[in-house]
Amino acid sequence: MSVEFPKCLAIDYGTVRVGLAVSRASLADPLEIVPNNEHLFTRLLEIIAEEHIDTVVIGISEQEMAEKTRAFASQLADVTTIPLVFTDETLSSKTVHEKLITAKKSKRTGHIDHYAAAEFLQAWMDEQEVFA
């Protein structure tokens, strides 16, 4: 008998780029990085439909960025009925950098926003009984 896990989309919101990750059973999987532009909400709604998302998990940091993230979440709540939850993402990028260095991929170039989203999504999922 297979277990049905909720499908989650993690959003690592940034003013330039937005990192996305999705849950695959009980594991978080980096999905993509999208530009934060006029097409952002259209792309998010496409992913929510394509991936059959049940919950959106939004990483929240501190101070000014937290305020910007909450404003973004408010706008997203206006265009979807999917539940939105916040989780701490303060150290997710630092953790990803450390993991890449440990994995000898420190010469890797490019953005890591989607890996950061997967990092805090996995931490959030690990805290939820439904994923245990």
Burial (CB count within 10 angstroms: exposed 0-12, middle 13-18, buried 19+), residue 63: exposed
Instruction: Report, as an integer, the average pLDDT of 14-29.
Output: 96
- What CATH code would you report for 8-131? 3.30.420.140
75-129 pLDDT per residue, tens:
999 999 999 999 988 766 666 656 666 666 545 556 788 989 999 999 999 999 8
Whether the pLDDT of residue 21 is over 60: the answer is: yes
DSSP 7: P
* Order of strands, sheet of 8-12, starting from the edge strand that comes earlier in the sequence: 27-35, 17-24, 8-12, 55-60, 84-88
C-alpha 70/C-alpha 129 separation (Å) is 26
38-80 pLDDT per residue, tens:
999 999 999 999 999 999 999 998 899 999 999 999 999 999 9
pLDDT interval class at 2 (50, 70, 90): low
Mean pLDDT of the chain: 88
Question: How many Cβ atoms sit within 10 Å of the Cβ of residue 2?
Answer: 5
- Which pLDDT does position 111 carry in this prediction? 78
| Domain boundaries along the sequence of the chain | 8-131
Q: Which residues contact 64 (CB under 8 A, 6 or more apart)?
A: none
